[in-house]
Amino acid sequence: MKYYIVDISDLNNIVWDQVRGTKDTIRYNVAKDKFLVKHEGNKPTFLNSYSSYTAEEMATILNTESNGWFVRSEDWQYWN
């Protein structure tokens, strides 16, 4: 499985049956100017301009708050 961080401007260029997931279920960053795409097999041409990440690399990016994929509430330590 390969993962890509794609600019929102390319949202309509994604061929959804060539990636895993759907337009309705993809994961956006907090600013909603990027989203996550993943696929197996050969790299689709519409992703040619994007770098690929492994699952582990992607997890590190997504779980680092400063990368902008989530925001902890002020009292997150009480919630979790």
Cα dihedral 40, 46, 48, 50 in deg (nearest 10): -80
Q: Which is nearer to another protein, 36 or 47 (CB)?
A: 36
Query: Is residue 63 close enough to count as binding another protein by CB under 8 A?
Result: yes
Q: Rounded to an integer, what distance in angstroms lies between the CA atom of residue 48 and that of residue 31?
A: 23
Contacts to another protein from residues 29-48, by CB under 8 A: 30, 36, 38, 40
Contact (CB, 8 A) for 47 and 6: yes
- Provide the binding-site residues for another protein, judged by CB under 8 A: 1, 3, 20-21, 25-27, 30, 36, 38, 40, 55-56, 58-60, 62-64, 69-73, 75-80
